[in-house]
Amino acid sequence: MEDKESKDFRKEFPKCPVCGGKPLFHETALALKARGLVDEKWEMALDSRQGAIMQPGKESSLPIGTEVPGYSFNTDICMECGNIWAVKLERVTVKKTITLASPTVMPNREARRHMKQKGNYQSDLRNLLLS
């Protein structure tokens, strides 16, 4: 059984753990907010990840809509020393959803012209449509 503290886990590290410097993307977001170019709630980070840690093969057996414990974190870069660190760590609940396949996108005019110049336009286009 999990305790309430582990469910509500959230930590923020606003300064570089190496030198105490400021995070680049966070400072850039503050400058954009000050100029009114982005919403006040908007966050910016080097990388944002979210997911669930599961045993391989177990996810496929879970019904759609199942909620499992997961994680979320944002990273940033120090403006002083270049260190990359997790500025926000959070425990979240992840819901299993249906993943839709991405639709096939026809190549634009420039891509088609490039394929024609290479001389294998028909085979490239056929491979694209069949993939």
pLDDT digits over 10-28, tens only?
Answer: 999 999 999 999 999 999 9
Better pLDDT: 129 or 68: 68
Cα→Cα distances 110→53, 100, 105, 117, 122, Å: 42, 28, 14, 11, 15
pLDDT for the residue numbered 59: 76
The reply to whether 17 and 50 lie within a common domain is yes
d(C-alpha 99, C-alpha 60), whole Å: 12
Better pLDDT: 44 or 60: 44
The reply to whether 92 and 131 lie within a common domain is no
Whether the per-residue pLDDT at 123 is higher than 70: the answer is: no
Query: Residue 95 is part of which domain span?
Result: 4-99
Confidence bin at 5 (pLDDT 50/70/90): low
The reply to whether 33 and 8 lie within a common domain is yes
The reply to whether 94 and 114 lie within a common domain is no
pLDDT for the residue numbered 64: 85
pTM for the model stands at: 0.61
The reply to whether 36 and 80 lie within a common domain is yes
Domain count, the chain: 2
Cα→Cα distances 131→22, 107, 125, Å: 45, 13, 10
Least confidently predicted of 1-10, 94-103, 108-117: 1-10
Taking a C-beta distance cutoff of 8 angstroms, is the pair 75, 47 a contact? Answer: yes
| pLDDT per residue as tens digits for the range 52-107 | 888 877 877 888 888 888 899 999 999 999 999 999 999 988 888 777 766 667 77
Confidence bin at 1 (pLDDT 50/70/90): very low
